[in-house]
Structure 1
């Protein structure tokens, strides 16, 4: 009879953790495999904790993994499942459930108030598992991409004053949306930028969080949008969104432009699709309240 043991990632070697991750995502919807350097970078950049993450071993061999992180957001402790994977040879044997249960137990130890995760919408077995573990779908998220030139007129930028700053400055805005998908929150965009649009009365009316990418020669090659938020109650919402997109994506260069995990019903998604962006992936955001 096979013996299954769940360990904290902090009790494992890095090689074991990486093997659990890469085997756990074999045959996945996207290529999620990583090198050791990429794995370590992701742990750091997305606030994932070895002490809170878990690895499953079957007869001493890495068989599955769940990466976890915890942040305090407006007084609540929020946990994020940053990836659940089970090696193909062990799928359908209840290992995913054991990993999820171990994660929930850790969340309770850490006095987490809300557990969150995102899952690819087409991954029905995973979503069903999460529902059995008490999670509910609270939003649908879109990942969009566009390559080449992007048309944005100077007129779209002319209505408001645009001020840029550090991503962490978004938290001071009274309409900052803190409970978005984990990777779109400002602590996960450390090398990104904040764009704030101010109206003619000097009132802050909208903001974006985004990141520009550069190649080894320093050339600007990509732009990724993570949040595009308009202050509630603004009658000029559509104009603000158009202006924000023009500032984020407008460039005479041929770039790879992406919008990552925006709510599917967001005005920005509609406008980007009409501008030639393609929907490359759709996810669901799920949450679970903890006692």
Structure 2
């Protein structure tokens, strides 16, 4: 009876997706619902009290939280500016029939993504150390410049954080674009050659439009990754307390409130705001690029 039920054509699809549904409910929906509830509470060790919208009201006047949002937004915007066009161009070059050693360069550019973010962050913290013998100070010293306290200034600290992001993720995004390029029919480029189109024109009028699904995917995950960044900042500054909060992110602020200060209710409100911001930005960009438009 049970076997006949499982192998029933109407029931079988639901049996196959049941593990996903269970995992989704247990590890996503349940924590999300619990977080929403906690965001309206004051949650301290052994004490839980309903306080309504007090956590959200407090957020509006929290200057440190506003700074964390600005830091995360700036990081997200710059990673979008750098980690979409540059990997796309690299993928286009490597996909060219004139490219030499493409397998070597693909492996070399992807290799940083295999490095633990903890190890990578530690290496960059040492490279951007304020010591005279640190890598970056040695480089600028070669040009006659004085040593810089890289991680104590907002501008140079953000540069170190952005450089780490580019170093780790350029190769990953490049592979996404390479896979998209493989799906573009060669006949389109051959027709363009017959019409006398140059390389720039083919890239603008053929490559970019044909890569739209890949661009949308990379853009979507990059927005989330930019807003959710935490470990990189934590490792570069050797903790969650960067000078004047120049490296503090939204997730870093959530960690500070929830783990370091044990204010889980307030941290939950921070998490809900982060979720709303990420969803809103992604919904807007998906709407603007036509993903949600109805086919006529």
**Short-chain TM bin:** under 0.3
Q: Of Structure 1 and Structure 2, which has the larger fraction of its residues in helix?
A: 2
Which entry has the higher C-alpha Rg, 1 or 2? Answer: 2
Whose relative contact order is higher, 1 or 2, with alpha carbons under 8 Å and at least 6 apart? 2
Higher strand proportion = 1
